[in-house]
Amino acid sequence: MERAISELLREALGNNCDIAIEGLAPIPGGFSRETFSCTALVTQGDAKEVLPLIIRKDPPEEVCILQTSRANEHELIESLRAHTSVPVSRSYGYELDPDVFGSAAMVLQRADGNGKTSQLFNDGADVDQAEEVMRHLCEVLVELHQADIAVIDPRGILQDPRGVGIRTSSWDDYMDSTFQYYLSTYDQIVYDPSSIILLDAYLTLRRRKPRPLRLSVVHGDFNPANFLYKNGKVSALIDWENSRIGDPREDLGWMTTMDILSNTHVMDYPKKEGGFISYYNKLTGWDVTKEEVDYFTLFGSANIGVPVQSAIYRRIAGEHRQFMHLYLIQSSAPAIPSMAQLLGYPGSNSSETTGASS
């Protein structure tokens, strides 16, 4: 793999440089890609440069949780770098030919900063930075959501990146086609009847659509594990593979879910502004309500739920035997009663607080 990395870097940096790769090793980098870390020593004439790198590689297709394109991810990251101040790591390039890296892969700058964001919460080592980091995280998200879609995605690669028939000509069209996608795939991903909560969510959300909001570029996996921080600022928002055109409230809803599952407290910050949603509303003027966040917490869970359930289904059907997919069943269990509460299940004591019941 060292040779493949060197050649990809040479294409990005210029053919007249010498490149040595050191310290290549796998790292735990999320659940969807095989992630490696290494350092490139680049010599160009008398100039020497050390480039910390991340390699994101597609796992085998049957294991893959999200079937996404490294080419699209590269294009989006470079577009964000060119047109916004959203902190993202430079993408040096991608290789789709599986003969080169063993599967499709991309090479990115390894961002400076701490990725162990759990240290910002629960008496962690960096809890004193939480207020400023979360303030910046909210500002970064707002900039992303307010960015001009035509500028960030001129070729329309984010309109239907999963290729499942999503239409983005209007908010209603987006929502209706997304529900069509959820419901049409449900029967292919239900490995146990306990998944009935997802079906209930799809059907209920379809019956109870909230007010429209302008569509945006959404991160698509905005969660406590997908940013790095340093000196009270977000140094990088990472893992853009599920980014797409969608409702900006989806990112707020998904962060709410993952905050619960990750035992973190992103949504409580910045406390001086009354929490994440309050500050988001102050910056955007969109007046996103708690009921809308609840709605999109379910909607976002449904969106990630489809590919995750599908991958677990393939594991149980014996198409592969990777352990992580069994662990996902356990680790996502706390989300099920939370979803039921948001749907206003009798006995869950929160039916009056959600816009999605019945």
Partner 1 sequence: MNTTPSIDDLLEGLIFALSDEILPYLTNEKSQATAVMMQSVIQEIRQMLPVFDICIAEEHNQMTKVLRDVASLVGSINGDAATRISERGATLGAVADVPVPEKKDVAGAHRALGFALQETLRDLDELQRKGFTIADDALDAVRSYLYPSFVRYANTVSVEGGMVGRG
Of these, 13, 164, 199, 213, which contacts partner 1 (CB under 8 A)? 199
Of these, 39, 177, 262, 281, which contacts partner 1 (CB under 8 A)? 262
307 lines the binding site for partner 1 (CB under 8 A): no
Report the distance separating Cα 57 and Cα 325, nearest Å.
18
Of these, 25, 47, 155, 193, which contacts partner 1 (CB under 8 A)? 193
340 lines the binding site for partner 1 (CB under 8 A): yes
Q: How far is the CB of 200 from partner 1 (least distance, A)?
A: 6
> Is the four-CA dihedral 64, 66, 67, 73 of positive or negative sign?
negative
Q: How far is the CB of 62 from partner 1 (least distance, A)?
A: 14
Q: How far is the CB of 244 from partner 1 (least distance, A)?
A: 21
Q: How far is the CB of 348 from partner 1 (least distance, A)?
A: 5
Of these, 72, 103, 235, 264, which contacts partner 1 (CB under 8 A)? 264
Q: How many CB atoms lie within 10 A of CB 150?
A: 8
| Contact map string, positions 29 to 58, toward partner 1, x by CB under 8 A | -xx---------------------------
Question: Closer CB to partner 1, residue 27 or residue 164?
Answer: 27
Of these, 194, 212, 319, 353, which contacts partner 1 (CB under 8 A)? 194
15 lines the binding site for partner 1 (CB under 8 A): no
Q: How far is the CB of 1 from partner 1 (least distance, A)?
A: 17
Question: Closer CB to partner 1, residue 163 or residue 318?
Answer: 318
Positions 223 through 242 that interact with partner 1 (CB under 8 A): 223-226
347 lines the binding site for partner 1 (CB under 8 A): yes
| Contact map string, positions 80 to 119, toward partner 1, x by CB under 8 A | -----------------------------------xxxx-
Question: Closer CB to partner 1, residue 10 or residue 233?
Answer: 233
Q: What angle do CA 70, 75, 80 make, to 5 degrees?
A: 125
190 lines the binding site for partner 1 (CB under 8 A): yes
List the structure tokens of 171: 């908010």
What string of H, E and C letters represents the secondary structure of the chain?
CHHHHHHHHHHHHCCCCEEEEEEEEEECCCCCCEEEEEEEEEEECCEEEEEEEEEEECCCCCCCCCCCCHHHHHHHHHHHHHHCCCCCCCEEEEECCHHHHCCCEEEEECCCCECCHHHHCCCCCCHHHHHHHHHHHHHHHHHHHHCCHHHHCCCCCCCCCCCCCCCCCCHHHHHHHHHHHHHHHHHHHCCCHHHHHHHHHHHHHHHCCCCCCCCEEECCCCCCCCEEEECCEEEEECCCCCCEEECCHHHHHHHHHHHHHHCCCHHHCCHHHCCHHHHHHHHHCCCCCHHHHHHHHHHHHHHHHHHHHHHHHHHHCCCCCCCHHHHHHHHCCCHHHHHHHHCCCCCCCCHHHCCCCC
331 lines the binding site for partner 1 (CB under 8 A): yes
346 lines the binding site for partner 1 (CB under 8 A): yes
Query: How many residues belong to the site for partner 1 (CB under 8 A)?
Result: 47
261 lines the binding site for partner 1 (CB under 8 A): yes
* Residues of the shown chain interacting with partner 1 in the complex, contacts defined by CB under 8 A: 28, 30-31, 115-118, 190-194, 196-197, 199-200, 203, 207, 223-226, 261-264, 316, 321-324, 326-327, 329-331, 333-334, 336-337, 340, 343, 345-348, 358
